[in-house]
Structure 1
């Protein structure tokens, strides 16, 4: 329920608000109102746990970028590239976080587990293999987001506007679904090995 509520407040609800408001308001205003939802949710999360909500901030970051790009205007093809620009910048954030002690996937994953399990989750960081797993997942998400942005950018220049609009969402959700499925299977495999390391059956 906690995961579902987080995804709804930071993803589904802002999208629904954006689509609804865009019918009678400017794109900038629609994005501005939609971005208030993850902002408020992040503020409430901080007030409760005294900790920043990495997932909510990531969603807010994407919306703020979209607002800034909406202000630039431009010709039709440049407007079609805005989504790819946001995806590319978020992918760059993932890859850039590898330079820090804890990559971005760590606070994101921590956000989706119950507070009772935070201690066990944090304890995993002492295991070298677990650190490699987190870095691998961060790197794969970063590369896939940049790859998705590159593919859609290429399609903008190779396809007509009508064809691009027809296949753009398919490409985006295809990349996201493929990466999510890889994450699920990779996490399951890593969890089995981590259990063996904890029991002393495998080296760390």
Structure 2
């Protein structure tokens, strides 16, 4: 299986497992809040398991663990099912701000994300970032685009959470999130193509 196919399979599994769990529990008569809680715990547990299996926690991985940890904390703070959906906007907005702040500080989260995804190239990526102005510029711009996209996604979700039925919004929320991620990831792949071509040929 190619790296791209593996990434698509992982994304499909994450969506299917989380959303599927919610709807199976709802069909079994479980309340909206409990079904959302179980689905959220499942998603967070998987992320922790992946980090432990790889035996490596990068800045990007630590950021994602913190996001999921905050998500679980917010889950227990309210008994309102709509708030459990609204919290996704809090999390994606927070992550978007982290991307933007990392770009401002000159150490973009996209660099750590690339090193997390391709650990065998981590050292080479860091070297290129330090000494190649074009690579540095592309990484920083990529972080800005990710930040703006996640903040936009967070804002778009809010009115939908409080106008659509919860059972409908569960699916819409995931489609909104994963659709945003897919679009930005596709753009990012094209935008950083030269970088990856250099790595492969090195």
TM-score (norm 1): 0.70
Higher RCO structure, 1 or 2 (CA under 8 Å, sep 6+): 2
Name the structure 2 match of 1:41: 50
Paired residue for 1:178? 183
Answer whether contact 2:111 2:125 (CA < 8 A) is retained. Answer: no
3-state SS of the aligned residue for 1:154?
helix
**C-alpha RMSD of the superposition:** 3.6
| The one of 112, 133, 150 aligned to 1:145 | 150
Kindly name which structure, 1 or 2, has the bigger radius of gyration based on alpha carbons. 1
How far apart in 2 are the matches of 1:28 and 1:121? 38
The aligned residue for residue 199 of structure 1 is none
Is the CA contact (8 Å cut-off) linking 2:15 and 2:174 kept in structure 1? no
Tell me if 1:88 matches 2:87. Answer: no
Instruction: State the aligned residue count.
Output: 187
Deviation track 1:134-188 (CA, whole Å, cap 9, x = no partner) reads 100111001100100101113234x332654463333223222211111111112
Kindly tell me: are residues 6 and 36 of structure 1, through their superposed partners in 2, closer, same or farther at Cα, counting changes over 3 Å? Answer: farther
Name structure 2 gaps, 5 residues minimum: none
- Cα–Cα, structure 1 residues 171 and 41, in superposed 2: closer, same or farther, change >3 Å? closer
Q: Per-residue deviation at 1:76?
A: 4.4
Matched, 1:161 2:162: no
CA gap of 1:127–1:65, structure 2 versus 1, over 3 A, is same
